[in-house]
Structure 1
Amino acid sequence: MFEWHSTVNIFNLITKFMDVVYNKWRSKLIVASTDGENTMTGRHASIVPRLVACADNNVLRIWCTPHQINIVVKAAIEAIDNGVWAKQVYTFSVFLRA
């Protein structure tokens, strides 16, 4: 995908790809997993609502597990010493890369 990454372009790319891979995907789609970003899950013009509208069945929408884990781990790390520890680790990693 070389043009602008609008939700319409991404949606068109996904549907064209799925049509080539398995043209009956609309009747088999039962779940859509995303990272929760508004461009993916927004109410009207986002990718997931467009995919759900294409599906022949009711589609379950879930956040993907790695992103859920990332949110929990990030919150836990920021809770350690009111975020000071995380800042020090980040500063040290920047120093090591330099």
Structure 2
Amino acid sequence: MHLVGMSMFERHTGLNVFNMISKFMDALYIKWHAKLIGMSINDKNTMTCHHTNVVTRIVACAKHKVLWIWCVSHQIDIVIKALVENINGDS
């Protein structure tokens, strides 16, 4: 698992977020487009609301198909919510 924190001083539009991530990845490894095979996203609502098209833009510039995976914390959240609903008798 990798964690990177970056300050963003512009509006959090999809294009601005994509540009920031793209510049960061270019600084790390200029050929990242050819190496990207998978990425973790937090959830559909976030990626389609104020971060519109961030994942779509990243995947579009990749050379190969990219596997989208929900991040670990959101996978755990889904399981915990299901367990709590099961314990409470909610369906």
Percent identical residues: 53
Q: Which of 71, 76, 82 is the matching residue for 2:78?
A: 71
User: Quick one: higher RCO (CA 8 Å, sep 6+), 1 or 2?
Assistant: 2
Other structure's SS at 1:33 match:
strand
What is the TM-score of this pair, normalised by structure 2? 0.75
Runs (5+) with no aligned partner, structure 2: 1-7
Mapped partners of 1:66, 1:57: distance in 2: 26
- The reply to whether residue 57 of structure 1 matches residue 78 of structure 2 is no
1:21-42 C-alpha deviation (Å, 9 max, x unpaired): 1111000000011112334268
Mapped partners of 1:41, 1:63: distance in 2: 14
Q: Which of 84, 87, 91 is the matching residue for 1:80?
A: 87
Amino acid of the residue matched to residue 55 of structure 1? A
- The reply to whether residue 21 of structure 1 matches residue 28 of structure 2 is yes
Other structure's SS at 2:39 match:
strand
Amino acid of the residue matched to residue 27 of structure 1? A
Mapped partners of 1:58, 1:37: distance in 2: 19
Q: Which of 7, 32, 43 is the matching residue for 1:36?
A: 43
Other structure's SS at 1:12 match:
helix
| RMSD (Å), alpha carbons | 2.0
Please identify the structure whose Cα radius of gyration is greater: 1
Mapped partners of 1:24, 1:41: distance in 2: 27
What is the TM-score of this pair, normalised by structure 1? 0.71
**Runs of 4+ more than 4 Å apart:** none
In the TM superposition, what is the alpha-carbon distance from 1:74 to its structure 2 partner? Answer: 2.1
More helix by share: 1
